[in-house]
Amino acid sequence: MRPAASQSLVSRSWMIALLIGLTFVALGCGLRMEVEGADPDTHSWVDLALLLCGYLLVFCLKPIQKVILRKLCQRAAHRAHEKAAR
């Protein structure tokens, strides 16, 4: 049975997941600005693609956070095991 995750690991995993999401949002906005050029009033297929990717990202944040939390818990358990072996 795996030990319960501490609150600091949970908040750290959410912070990492949100930073990943923010990175994708920034890349999407940069792509939009590059494709559309200087005229921000026009709507194009890029807006629709970014909207759909953002919608997908919202549903992917929780699984991403769970994977990060699992890795952080494994790393903490491994460090505790190494500390106990010394």
Q: Where in the chain are the domains?
A: 7-85
pLDDT band at 1 (very low <50, low <70, confident <90, very high): very low
With the C-alpha atoms ordered 51, 56, 59, 61, is the resulting torsion angle positive or negative? negative
**What is the rounded CA–CA span in Å between residue 22 and residue 45?**
21
| 80 pLDDT above the threshold of 80 | yes
Residue 38 pLDDT = 58
Q: Which amino acid, one-letter code, is at 32?
A: R
| 2 pLDDT above the threshold of 70 | no
Residue 55 pLDDT = 84
Per-residue pLDDT tens digits for 16-75: 888 988 888 888 888 877 877 756 666 677 778 788 888 888 888 889 889 999 998 988
